[in-house]
Amino acid sequence: MTHRALVLSALALAALATACGAEPKLDVQQQSETAAAAPQQPAAPAPAAAAPEAPIAAAPAHAPSAGELPAGHPPVAELPPGHPPTAGDAGAMAGGMAMVPSVDPSTGRGAAAIAWQAPAGWTAETPSNAMRRAQYRVPGAGGDGECVVFYFGPGQGGSPMANAERWAAQFADDKGQPATASMKTRTETVNGAQVLYVEAAGTYMSGGMMGDAVVPRPGYALLGAVVEGPDANWFFKFTGPAATVGAGRAAFEGMIRSAQHGG
């Protein structure tokens, strides 16, 4: 083959390679430099972890006890100033039991005492706590009642009217309201001493002392008297079924009118 023929053959082969899509050899060094010069894109931030949800506080459970007031009944009135604490007062509980205030046993004796004549048929019982100077069971057709005599010592116990209102507030009328609005009071002088009488009726919220439950007692009544003593007031509280208290009115008032200073 002549030199001219060889040159033509080479040119033909080159044209054929171009037509078949042959790619030229890559310049690796040039591509590496180009990639290094290109600005780096910041990496996408990792998705933030979801914050834990705050726990939902459960509502405090409350199981009504047998000693709670009936539905709709207003709170029982607070004790008058100077009155010893009862089981419901803050600081009056120790180990779940009420702390009975200490009453000096030497007070209310001798010239500082009062004496009275208990009605016939009333049964004297041992006082259940130190605040009670006497305690009687009163029988009656409506069921047994109770008459208690309280003495707290000089400067203690509160005023006569404050106690009358507190006692009446332990009763709920037929509308569920405290019986303070319907209570009856009157005053009298007995053997030179001032006496305040109080009457109330309705549902009696008995108990509450010594940590015992408050028990609603419908159809109950109260006859009370606060008697001025030589050094402090004496509190006479007669409660029970309305029929028993009503039948015992004359006996109760006779006991109060028999009271004299100096036991």
pLDDT tens-digit profile of 171-230? 999 899 999 999 999 999 999 999 999 999 999 998 765 566 888 999 999 999 999 999
pLDDT at 90 over 70: no
Q: Which of 209, 226, 119 shows the shortest CA–CA distance to 168?
A: 226
pLDDT by residue (tens digit) across 114-123? 999 999 999 9
155-159, 164-168, 229-233: which range is least confident on average? 155-159
**CATH number of this structure's domain 126-261:** 3.40.1000.10
3-12, 119-128, 159-168: which range is least confident on average? 3-12
CA dihedral sign of residues 256, 258, 260, 263: negative
Q: What's at 201, amino acid-wise?
A: A
Query: Is residue 233 packed enough to be buried (19+ CB in 10 Å), middle (13-18) or exposed (0-12)?
Result: buried
Report d(CA 166, CA 206) in Å as an integer. 13
Write down the pTM of the prediction: 0.63
Cβ contact 255:116 at 8 Å: yes
φ and ψ at residue 24, rounded to 5 degrees: -70, 160
Average pLDDT, whole number, for the chain? 73
Residue 107's pLDDT band (boundaries 50, 70, 90)?
A: confident
